[in-house]
Amino acid sequence: MTIAPGPLLSTINSPDDLRRLDKDQLHQVCDELRQYIIDVVSLHGGHFASSLGVIELSVALHYVYNTPVDQLVWDVGHQAYGHKILTGRRDEFHTNRKYNGLSGFPKRSESEYDTFGVGHSSTSISAALGMAMAAKYKGEDRKSVAIIGDGALTAGLAFEGMNHAGVADSDVLIILNDNCMSIDPNVGALKEYLTDITTSHTYNKMKDDVWNALGKLPAATFTREIASKIDQSIKGFLNKSSNLFEALNLRYFGPIDGHNITKLTDTLQDLKNIPGPKLLHIVTVKGKGYSLAEKDQTKWHAPGLFDKITGEIYKKAYEKPQPPKYQDVFGHTIIELAEKNDKILGITPAMPSGSSLKFMMEQMPNRAFDVGICEQHAVTLSAGMATQGMRVFCNIYSSFMQRAFDQVVHDVAIQKLPVVMCLDRAGLVGEDGPTHHGAYDIAYFRGIPNMIISSPMNEQELRNLMYTSQLETMNLPMVIRYPRGEGVMPEWKTPMTEIPIGKGRKLKDGEEVAILTLGHPGNFAAQAIRNLKTEGITPAHYDMRFAKPLDEALLHEVFAKFKKIVTVEDGTVVGGFGSAVLEFMAAHQYHATVKILGIPDRLVEHGTLKQLHAECGYDAEGIELAVKSLVQQNTTVHSY
């Protein structure tokens, strides 16, 4: 279905077209842009509320700044839909997040207007500052602007960037988009601090008076020295809310209404003429312009397909019960365990809904905590709790855990603290693409001493691994990694039993070829084996459960019997589970042909999970092809 943009939006094929419009036409542009996003996302899916909240800002930035010469850095990237539409991608926008279509995030290879790729948060200030410093060094007349949400501001990297920006003598503007939300409502002292700023009448009146006075000064006379003297003269009259940003030597302006397009364009135009590092604080509403999204911002962050008139979110109807999502199995199981073990605590960095720790936070609010977008803090906080005898489940998306690698090594593994790291979204995640794929955790955790790395094949195995991880006999850190989406067991609430650490299981005996699987892809292998049976091929199947430690007894059994082996995992083939099997084979001088299936050594773009599993060759059909190719070989030369 073709979706037609409004009459003004249909004429905007680049920011140059936008800048040709009169300022009083920008209201209409904003209305049409907001409606176009509603129209397209309701039919094709994608992130929703975030971009609606920055429609006016997107228009104002491209109207005032000479993009792409002036460089905008969006943080987090899912608020950049309006930006994409205004920068020549309007007619392709319906392909957003679809296989071979537009990325859901800014992407440098996609457009010259996407100055920095971002899918995670809190990188914009450092990146924009780097651009500003490079421009100054090269003598180029270009502006750099970072647009960061208040949720992203909680991450340490944002503070590191601001700390440097204040002394870097570079012309960078930081726009703080304050809507009290990331995916879930923001938490922490910074949220309260920003609330103080936005609600302080004394502070805002003083800032307005100063701003008006400065507006009357010629731009040429507005120097750093004058700005510093004015700052010092009014600081005694300002309340504590003025301290944080100005203490970092950032000229603070605002807060202003982020939905007032006239005020935004006027303010940005003025700020272009003020040198040095600056921060503009704007207040917006996530989901602005779609009433249901304004009322329930978490639900409408990425709602899927919906009826834009009634607000009904379409859900597929099923004739029989369906398997739950792995994240929900985690969310309900941790409560079951915590009811019997009062040492269990839960931690998540800003993903209580995405990880389903929200269930425990609602039922046991004194035992489950959202720490904001602070993965490093989440891990070390968990380590601190573990020193006091707590059994902490630190629940983080696999791709987000990459940020906390140092903390895992130094604060958890070296000290042998039994923190349980539950990695949601392990493996390929689908439409969010390479910034979110959980491809590397097996490889980067496998090299750390004292680490246990496990992956359940189904919901029952997840429950058993969680049960095992909180036992008093556990004295090492343990990773439990599981994928995005549904499992395979509609009747999943089974009794929990201990799984011996490093112990796999033989699911099916067979001939000629052995398939060794880790985690959920074991279900793809089971399907492949059923399909191969019709062709008279009967491979054996081993669910290894652990990438570290390996079940060496089971591997000795495999290599003693089979000369042709396929390994399957939903992680990178470089340094992952398959590599561990090859290392075992070499160490024990076995000779076999080993085919490793998993995520290839390249960036896998976005698409549905089914499309990406097929592309990477470890879906059921890919496993079938690998087994057939081995059956047809007569060689025993090592391969991978």
Q: pLDDT tens digits, residue range 13-54?
A: 999 999 999 999 999 999 999 999 999 999 998 888 888 999
pLDDT over threshold 50, residue 637? no
In a domain, 87, yes or no: no
| 168: CB partners within 8 A, 6+ apart | 129, 132, 133, 277
* Catalytic status, residue 308: no
pLDDT band at 451 (very low <50, low <70, confident <90, very high): very high
CB-facing half-sphere around the CA of 545: CA atoms within 13 A = 25
In a domain, 89, yes or no: no
Q: 556, 456, 550: which is closest to 514 by C-alpha? A: 556
Q: Where are the alpha helices (DSSP H) in 341-414?
A: 352-355, 358-363, 375-387, 398-401, 405-407
Last residue of a domain, one of 230, 261, 283: 283
pLDDT digits (tens, 9 = 90+) for 109-154: 999 999 999 888 899 999 999 999 999 999 999 999 999 987 888 8
pLDDT band at 566 (very low <50, low <70, confident <90, very high): very high
- Looking at the fold, whether 407 and 517 belong to one and the same domain comes out as no
- Looking at the fold, whether 351 and 475 belong to one and the same domain comes out as yes
The more confident residue out of 230 and 482 is 482
pLDDT over threshold 50, residue 620? yes
- Looking at the fold, whether 530 and 610 belong to one and the same domain comes out as yes
Q: What is the CATH number of the domain that holds 529?
A: 3.40.50.920
Helix 261-272 vs helix 26-44: angle between axes, to the nearest 10 degrees? Answer: 110
Number of domains in the chain: 3
- Looking at the fold, whether 564 and 626 belong to one and the same domain comes out as yes
For residue 335, the surrounding DSSP H or E stretch is helix 326-340
What is the CA 454 to chain-centroid distance, rounded? 22
pLDDT over threshold 80, residue 422? yes
CB 481 within 8 A of CB 455: yes
Catalytic residue among 32, 97, 191, 375: 375
pLDDT digits (tens, 9 = 90+) for 516-564: 999 999 999 999 999 999 999 999 999 999 999 999 999 999 999 999 9
CB-facing half-sphere around the CA of 321: CA atoms within 13 A = 9
Distance (Å, whole) CA 450 – CA 476: 6
List the structure tokens of 82: 């309006």
- Looking at the fold, whether 195 and 101 belong to one and the same domain comes out as yes
* Catalytic status, residue 295: no
What pLDDT shows up at residue 299? 84
In a domain, 598, yes or no: yes
Catalytic residue among 207, 403, 545, 564: 403
Distance (Å, whole) CA 15 – CA 21: 10
What pLDDT shows up at residue 434? 94
List the structure tokens of 510: 């067979």
CB 157 within 8 A of CB 203: no
CA dihedral over 251, 254, 255, 258, signed as positive or negative: negative
Query: CA geometry: angle at 435 spanning 434 and 436, to 5°?
Result: 90
- Looking at the fold, whether 146 and 273 belong to one and the same domain comes out as yes
- Looking at the fold, whether 277 and 337 belong to one and the same domain comes out as no
pLDDT over threshold 80, residue 238? no
Q: 124, 108, 215: which is closest to 177 by C-alpha? A: 124
In a domain, 311, yes or no: no
Distance (Å, whole) CA 322 – CA 445: 33
Distance (Å, whole) CA 70 – CA 64: 10
pLDDT digits (tens, 9 = 90+) for 268-310: 999 998 999 999 999 999 889 888 888 888 888 888 888 888 8
What is the CA 180 to chain-centroid distance, rounded? 18
pLDDT digits (tens, 9 = 90+) for 335-376: 999 999 999 999 999 999 999 999 999 999 999 999 999 999
DSSP symbols for 4-24: PPPTTGGG-SSHHHHHTS-GG
User: How many helices (H) does the chain have, and how many strands (E)?
Assistant: 26, 17
- Looking at the fold, whether 343 and 458 belong to one and the same domain comes out as yes
pTM of the model: 0.89
- Whether omega before 349 lies within 30 degrees of 0, making that bond cis, reads no
Q: 568, 564, 573: which is closest to 593 by C-alpha? A: 564
| Domain with 510 in it | 505-631
Distance (Å, whole) CA 505 – CA 113: 52
CB-facing half-sphere around the CA of 550: CA atoms within 13 A = 22
pLDDT digits (tens, 9 = 90+) for 371-382: 999 999 999 999
Could you give the C-alpha distances from 506 to 13, 92, 503, 560, 581, in angstroms and in order?
A: 59, 49, 10, 15, 16
- Looking at the fold, whether 127 and 71 belong to one and the same domain comes out as yes
Q: What is the CATH number of the domain that holds 215?
A: 3.40.50.970
Amino acid identity at 40: V
Residue appearing with tokens 């060496």:
552
- Looking at the fold, whether 247 and 110 belong to one and the same domain comes out as yes
In a domain, 269, yes or no: yes
Last residue of a domain, one of 465, 481, 497: 481
Distance (Å, whole) CA 35 – CA 42: 11
pLDDT over threshold 50, residue 638? no
**In terms of DSSP bridges, do strands 452-454 and 546-548 run parallel, antiparallel, or are they unpaired?**
antiparallel
- Length of the chain counted residue by residue: 640
List the structure tokens of 171: 């012309």
Q: 303, 283, 287, 284: which is closest to 295 by C-alpha? A: 287
Helix 620-631 vs helix 609-616: angle between axes, to the nearest 10 degrees? Answer: 20
Strand, helix or coil for residue 555: helix
CB 401 within 8 A of CB 421: yes
Helix 55-64 vs helix 261-272: angle between axes, to the nearest 10 degrees? Answer: 40
In a domain, 460, yes or no: yes
| 538: CB partners within 8 A, 6+ apart | 510, 511, 512, 529, 532
Average pLDDT, the chain: 90
In a domain, 309, yes or no: no
Contacts 24+ apart (CB under 8 A), 18-24: 18/59, 18/62, 18/63, 18/86, 19/62, 19/63, 21/63, 23/63, 23/262, 23/265
Residue percentage of the chain with pLDDT more than 90: 77
Catalytic residue among 89, 98, 107, 286: 286
- Looking at the fold, whether 626 and 565 belong to one and the same domain comes out as yes
In a domain, 528, yes or no: yes
Last residue of a domain, one of 283, 318, 348: 283
pLDDT over threshold 60, residue 231? no
Distance (Å, whole) CA 275 – CA 273: 6
Could you give the C-alpha distances from 43 to 2, 298, 302, 303, in angstroms and in order?
A: 10, 19, 13, 11
| 480: CB partners within 8 A, 6+ apart | 420, 421, 422, 423, 454, 455, 456, 462, 465, 466, 469
Is residue 188 classed exposed, middle or buried when 0-12, 13-18 and 19+ CB atoms within 10 A define those classes? middle
- Looking at the fold, whether 186 and 247 belong to one and the same domain comes out as yes
What pLDDT shows up at residue 437? 97
Strand, helix or coil for residue 218: coil
* Catalytic status, residue 224: no
CB 559 within 8 A of CB 588: yes
CA dihedral over 542, 543, 547, 548, signed as positive or negative: negative
